[in-house]
Amino acid sequence: MSARENILNAIARNQPELIDVPVIDQNVIIRYEDKYAQFKAVLESIGGQTELISDVAILKKQLIADKQSGDFVVNAIAELGDIDNQIAEFTAFELEKIEKAYIKGTVGVAENGAVWVFESQMINRLVPFICQHLIVVIAKKDIVDTLHQAYDKIDVSREGFGVFIAGPSKTADIEQSLVIGAHGARSAKIYVIE
């Protein structure tokens, strides 16, 4: 018998009697009066930044200035100009030079400051991790109270990869001292469009 059959048979033999699936009553779950305010407070407490803007086009000027600075800046937001599709084929060695990346998110989560980003929103899976500074844009109406509503809104298997990002990369592995900028982005700023 193969390992697979051995394992599955042993489990089938040893697992307890079938138990019902629990019912998750979302009525008992915390709600926030002002989801954006909660999102902002939590995100800032974990090292991220956020700003409310009236229109995504406001970021156009900033993107142009960033690109003109000579730094390697990646844009993945159609409303801001051409999307840098060429980086889809870039190697990690090349992507490691990214100073800043502009990407869109799908859902923001008030309870923990996380933003869901689909693979299609990041051009290349490495982008939100390997860039030095990350900018994510979400709509205010897409901020939900908790992860329960977030998972209701997204189909995690729609694409090959997706991620909740909550603030910048960090570590406290040296004597529990919090250091921002472990391996991933050193800063994460979330622009929320009203």
Considering the complex, state which of residue 54 and residue 174 has its C-beta at the smaller distance from another protein.
174
Q: Does 150 interact with another protein (rule: CB under 8 A)?
A: yes
- CA nearest to 164, candidates 194, 193, 144, 179: 144
* Nearest CB to another protein, comparing residues 62 and 112: 112
CB 114 within 8 A of CB 164: yes
- Among 111, 121, 98, which residue's Cα sits nearest to residue 149? 111
Buried b (16+ CB within 10 A) or exposed e, 14-24: eeeeeeeeeee
Sole binder of another protein in the list 130, 137, 138, 193 (CB under 8 A)? 130
Asked if 82 interacts with another protein (CB under 8 A), we say no
Binding residue (CB under 8 A) for another protein from 71, 78, 182, 194: 182
Give bridge partners of residue 73 from the DSSP assignment: 100
37 binds another protein (CB under 8 A): no
Cβ proximity of 156 and 101 under 8 Å: no
Among 60, 67, 140, 148, binds another protein (CB under 8 A): 148
Residue 42 or 63: the one with the smaller Cβ distance to another protein is 42
The token duo for 53 is 């803007």
Q: Is 181 in the site for another protein (CB under 8 A)?
A: yes
Listed ranges 62-70, 75-83, 100-108, 144-152: which one lies at the site for another protein (CB under 8 A): 144-152
Q: Of residues 83-112, which lie at the interface with another protein (CB under 8 A)?
A: 91-93, 96, 109, 111-112
Is 29 one of the binding residues for another protein (CB under 8 A)?
A: yes
Which DSSP string do the residues of 132-151 spell out, in sequence order?
SEEEEEEEGGGEESSHHHHH
Whole-number minimum distance, CB 189 to another protein, in Å? 14
